[in-house]
Amino acid sequence: MSKTEPTKWHVRFRQAAYTAAVGAAIWSLMIIVPFAPFSFLPPIIVGGGAGAWFALGYVLYIAAGFGSTAALSALLYQVELGEGKRVSGALAGPGLVLLYAGVTSSSLLLATAGYAGGYARSIQHMPDQAIEAMLLPYVNPVSVGVMMAVVGALLTIAAMATASRPKT
**pLDDT above 90 (res 14):** yes
Q: pLDDT band at residue 1, thresholds of 50, 70 and 90?
A: very low
Whole-structure pTM value: 0.88
Instruction: Dump the DSSP string for 90-146.
Output: HHHHHHHHHHHHHHHHHHHHHHHHHHHHHIIIIIS---HHHHHHHHHHHHHHHHHHH
Residues 6+ apart with CB under 8 A from 81: 8, 10
Give dist(CA 73, CA 92) in Å, integer. 11
pLDDT at 44: 86
Would you list the domain boundaries of the chain?
9-161
Give pLDDT tens digits for 110-149: 999 999 999 999 889 999 999 999 999 999 999 999 999 9
| CB distance 21 to 12 below 8 Å | no
